[in-house]
A and B are shown apart, each in its own frame.
Chain A
């Protein structure tokens, strides 16, 4: 039975097993490749997407569980004011190196700021510790979150 998904405001019907992780449906079936694969066990955060605004790891989220939510991926994050603000801060702080983890970092940061517009260092640590970066952009991620926070609209 195909699953009806709402991704970035568009409707899709995907004919896959219900236990297939949302990550692969978004990437390989729908073709939105901004969401990345890093570990497959929710330990690195590269696959982070929003389900009705909540950050989730799409690599362990079965597609059948995502069907009832509005799914947002990095491709559409900038359509909202907060998402665009986070992306702009990321560029201004020159956070990015290889960039592979940054979709997930930005999705996690945007979800953090949506819940907590003025996060402390400890707040940043507790949420962003779920996202690994091997290039070592952590100090700049911290700065960019603070910059985006300081510009709350």
Chain B
């Protein structure tokens, strides 16, 4: 289980309850001293909670607290509200919430963050409750207007209808009256049998603007008078700016100003083209700082050495040490993962207008509250004086949970009159990511006489992201992220998960990367089970079935994926299937990968077959999109993802030396959803962790070569 399962069963559930309770009975009107969400607000608007505004005329507004980064959250949240509010989705206008964690914090994460595949899980009930509360009040308002019993009125398509008399009033016409009513404490939610929108393939609300060029991402924020800045940040992590010769740059047409910071330099110009040309003309001398001699070999040496270090116990059941002594045979192996950037399509950018007494920030961020806070801190302003205009995000994957770019842009803007848009080049973006750092898993497994595992010892070595990012998920030395899912779903009597904290060099930011902890652990767990099955002489699917007998939802997706992929059907030489399962993010998934390795060792991924049980599918198409997305993101990393370090800096910088998957390499993907009446599970990260183990297991089946290091090394398959 991931951090959220832990959270939901622990301390955070209290917070979740409190926030839900606030939503249910929240104050009627948004106070005037609180920053208003984007659109103008009429005094007659009906706003029973921070998520719904119904003006006397015009569209019903749903204020979405979470960031839209492609995962369909605008559609998902609007669907939940509209379902209970009884309005068609095309009558709803989605508005991005302002930065205001007091009103818009995620119930599980306790901050205004979008990540961890928890958005819908956290808002599933509160958002329906918000809609139902508003609907109940609108019905009350109509009943009073007509002097009829509330029970004789019903909500229907944005109107309240009195069937007996045939009277009907649109919500807008009832807004002023409803706004004067007390907010009910308890409202009934619809049973699933009455859902009109949930479970249907309603078209996404954000896509029409994304196919005609009108959608606004952070990079598209061009406030009046905006200037554009290109930036160079110290290539070596922790380095500083020593000297800049800007004489040539300042002569370039359109270049206005050079901003020199302790660790970066920016060229401000009339347009980004001139800014980039100016930046290229600078002669910069850096002081590489404390990491100037570091290279990849040294980083790898350090993490290998750390394996033997002192560990904390993240999970312990049975007695592993005793069981290890009884095992007949076994293996002791190491799985390794490389440094990865997120490489979002939209490079880092942020537009800031810093004034002596206030500040505006235009950005696409997964962490609006933190964006506001960092700008305020840089400028020495109270947070109330900073307005964050959150935009569509051109790819998040965890990168935009960190606000380092917003901090940097604000530092630049401090020296510029008027608004300035700071744009990272692709090279700056890749070389200053919040990286998924090196990760190492040592796995020791012993099998009993029956071939089943009697002991399972998994030692994880890597950074503690949560210690910095969300300390409530870092307890007694155990990082709930990196150990996420590591206890595995398999019924093994003696299991132990140990964690050795091992951080990146000072100055190198490490962060959340799509799939988070489960993505780090699935290669070892699912590879390890495959190794055990092989050692026992058993079929990998059958072996898993036996160990998953007590986990019916996971077993069901395993069986479904195996069946749809044709598991057990004989294949030609060089062609094979590999399997992996994942119970995480509140969902259950299994993947079968079909691969082919030719005589020259060339690997081709021919097909991915995924089965998933994500609880109630609010919008099945969006679910399928997200699973496809997660799989392809995972596949890209498994085939290509590896950054290297030289002289304290990341070597790779663009799609030429840091390739990602392209359409011609993308296999056909099948997604099979298991119908469910359980509460919705997370889906944004579900596919990603499955790919590495399913592929490695397929390669083993095809070639007999067990690849435990990522990315997959094609040269190792030559002569297989």
Closest A residue to B627 using CB positions: A136
Those of B655-675 within 8 Å (CB) of chain A: 655-656, 660-664, 666, 668-669
Those of A10-27 within 8 Å (CB) of chain B: 16-17, 19-21, 23-25, 27
Once the chains bind, are B663 and A125 in contact (CB under 8 Å)? yes
Alpha-carbon distance between A60 and B70 when the two chains are bound, in angstroms: 27
Q: Which of B273, B276, B661 has most chain A Cβ within 10 Å?
A: B273
Once the chains bind, are B211 and A142 in contact (CB under 8 Å)? no
Surface stretch bound by A, among B338-346, B492-500, B521-529: B338-346
Alpha-carbon distance between A75 and B201 when the two chains are bound, in angstroms: 27
Known: A17-B252, A90-B211, A134-B397. A43 touches B656 (CB 8 A): yes
Alpha-carbon distance between A37 and B29 when the two chains are bound, in angstroms: 41
Once the chains bind, are B228 and A40 in contact (CB under 8 Å)? no
Q: Is A126 an interface residue (CB 8 A)?
A: yes
Once the chains bind, are A39 and B426 in contact (CB under 8 Å)? yes
Once the chains bind, are A134 and B344 in contact (CB under 8 Å)? yes
Alpha-carbon distance between A98 and B274 when the two chains are bound, in angstroms: 28
Identify B345's interface contact among A78, A101, A139, CB under 8 A. A101
> Size of chain A's interface in residues, with CB distance under 8 A?
61
Known: A24-B272, A74-B212, A99-B210. A36 touches B394 (CB 8 A): yes
Q: Is A141 an interface residue (CB 8 A)?
A: yes
Once the chains bind, are A25 and B664 in contact (CB under 8 Å)? no
Identify A125's interface contact among B423, B656, B664, B668, CB under 8 A. B664
Alpha-carbon distance between A141 and B663 when the two chains are bound, in angstroms: 9
> Smallest Cβ distance from A103 to chain B, in angstroms?
5
Alpha-carbon distance between A28 and B633 when the two chains are bound, in angstroms: 31
Alpha-carbon distance between A44 and B669 when the two chains are bound, in angstroms: 23
Once the chains bind, are A25 and B273 in contact (CB under 8 Å)? yes
Once the chains bind, are B663 and A33 in contact (CB under 8 Å)? no
A125: chain B residues at CB < 8 Å are 663-664
> Size of chain B's interface in residues, with CB distance under 8 A?
68
Q: Is A56 an interface residue (CB 8 A)?
A: no
Alpha-carbon distance between A87 and B212 when the two chains are bound, in angstroms: 7
Identify B346's interface contact among A36, A41, A124, A131, CB under 8 A. A36
Once the chains bind, are A136 and B272 in contact (CB under 8 Å)? no
> Smallest Cβ distance from B666 to chain A, in angstroms?
4
Once the chains bind, are B625 and A75 in contact (CB under 8 Å)? no
Once the chains bind, are A138 and B666 in contact (CB under 8 Å)? yes
A78: chain B residues at CB < 8 Å are 212
Once the chains bind, are B345 and A38 in contact (CB under 8 Å)? yes
Once the chains bind, are B655 and A43 in contact (CB under 8 Å)? yes
> Smallest Cβ distance from B498 to chain A, in angstroms?
34
Identify B253's interface contact among A16, A27, A33, CB under 8 A. A16
Q: Is B222 an interface residue (CB 8 A)?
A: yes
Surface stretch bound by A, among B185-193, B213-221, B259-267, B703-711: B213-221
Alpha-carbon distance between A141 and B207 when the two chains are bound, in angstroms: 14
Known: A43-B656, A98-B70, A101-B345. A29 touches B212 (CB 8 A): no
Known: A97-B629, A132-B345. A16 touches B254 (CB 8 A): yes
Identify B222's interface contact among A33, A75, A94, CB under 8 A. A33
Q: Is B631 an interface residue (CB 8 A)?
A: yes
B276: chain A residues at CB < 8 Å are 24, 40
A132: chain B residues at CB < 8 Å are 345, 655, 660, 662
Once the chains bind, are B631 and A142 in contact (CB under 8 Å)? no
Once the chains bind, are A133 and B656 in contact (CB under 8 Å)? no
Q: Is A67 an interface residue (CB 8 A)?
A: no
- For chain A, what secondary structure do more than half of its interface residues adopt (helix, strand, loop), or is it mixed? loop
Once the chains bind, are B213 and A34 in contact (CB under 8 Å)? yes
B622: chain A residues at CB < 8 Å are 94
1/0 per position for B178-212, CB-CB distance to A under 8 A?
Answer: 00000000000000000000000101101111111
B632: chain A residues at CB < 8 Å are 135-136, 138
> Smallest Cβ distance from B301 to chain A, in angstroms?
32
Once the chains bind, are B426 and A99 in contact (CB under 8 Å)? no
Those of B284-324 within 8 Å (CB) of chain A: none
Once the chains bind, are B423 and A37 in contact (CB under 8 Å)? yes
Known: A40-B426, A94-B203, A138-B666. A28 touches B213 (CB 8 A): no
Identify B213's interface contact among A21, A74, A94, A95, CB under 8 A. A74
Known: A20-B271, A129-B664, A134-B395. A96 touches B631 (CB 8 A): no
Q: Is A32 an interface residue (CB 8 A)?
A: yes
Identify B662's interface contact among A16, A17, A129, CB under 8 A. A129
Q: Is B621 an interface residue (CB 8 A)?
A: yes
Those of B351-406 within 8 Å (CB) of chain A: 392-397
Identify B425's interface contact among A31, A40, A90, A135, CB under 8 A. A40
Q: Is A137 an interface residue (CB 8 A)?
A: yes
Once the chains bind, are B629 and A135 in contact (CB under 8 Å)? yes
Once the chains bind, are A27 and B660 in contact (CB under 8 Å)? no
Once the chains bind, are A33 and B220 in contact (CB under 8 Å)? yes
1/0 per position for B621-655, CB-CB distance to A under 8 A?
Answer: 11001001111110010000000000000000011
A136: chain B residues at CB < 8 Å are 628-633, 636, 661, 666
A40: chain B residues at CB < 8 Å are 276, 425-426, 654
Alpha-carbon distance between A66 and B197 when the two chains are bound, in angstroms: 48
B214: chain A residues at CB < 8 Å are 34, 75
Alpha-carbon distance between A19 and B276 when the two chains are bound, in angstroms: 12
A102: chain B residues at CB < 8 Å are 210-211
Alpha-carbon distance between A40 and B219 when the two chains are bound, in angstroms: 15
Q: Is B177 an interface residue (CB 8 A)?
A: no
Q: Which of B397, B625, B668 has most chain A Cβ within 10 Å?
A: B625
Known: A17-B277, A94-B204, A138-B632. A99 touches B392 (CB 8 A): yes
Identify B656's interface contact among A34, A41, A94, A129, CB under 8 A. A41
Q: Is B347 an interface residue (CB 8 A)?
A: yes
Q: Which of B212, B426, B630, B663 has most chain A Cβ within 10 Å?
A: B663
Q: Is A5 an interface residue (CB 8 A)?
A: no
B208: chain A residues at CB < 8 Å are 91
> Smallest Cβ distance from A81 to chain B, in angstroms?
15
Q: Is B119 an interface residue (CB 8 A)?
A: no
Once the chains bind, are B213 and A100 in contact (CB under 8 Å)? no
Q: Is B576 an interface residue (CB 8 A)?
A: no
Closest A residue to B344 using CB positions: A134
Identify B660's interface contact among A17, A21, A134, CB under 8 A. A134
Once the chains bind, are B663 and A99 in contact (CB under 8 Å)? no
A106: chain B residues at CB < 8 Å are 211
A133: chain B residues at CB < 8 Å are 345, 663
Known: A94-B625, A134-B344. A73 touches B213 (CB 8 A): yes
B636: chain A residues at CB < 8 Å are 134, 136
Closest A residue to B210 using CB positions: A99
B217: chain A residues at CB < 8 Å are 36, 99-100
Once the chains bind, are A134 and B345 in contact (CB under 8 Å)? yes
Q: Is B71 an interface residue (CB 8 A)?
A: yes
Once the chains bind, are B204 and A36 in contact (CB under 8 Å)? no
Known: A96-B204, A125-B664, A137-B629. 15 other contacts (CB 8 A): A20-B274, A28-B222, A28-B228, A39-B654, A39-B655, A87-B211, A97-B70, A99-B206, A102-B210, A125-B663, A132-B345, A133-B345, A134-B343, A134-B345, A138-B663
Could you jot down 20 A-B contacts, CB within 8 Å?
A24-B276, A25-B271, A28-B272, A29-B271, A32-B213, A37-B347, A41-B426, A43-B654, A77-B213, A96-B211, A97-B629, A99-B215, A99-B217, A129-B664, A132-B662, A136-B666, A137-B629, A138-B632, A139-B669, A140-B625
List the 9 shortest-distance A-B pairs measured between CB atoms, nearest first: A34-B213, A136-B632, A100-B394, A98-B70, A99-B210, A97-B70, A24-B273, A74-B213, A28-B271
Residues of chain B having any CB pair with chain A under 8 Å: 69-72, 201, 203-204, 206-217, 219-220, 222, 228, 252-254, 270-274, 276-277, 343-347, 392-397, 423, 425-426, 621-622, 625, 628-633, 636, 654-656, 660-664, 666, 668-669
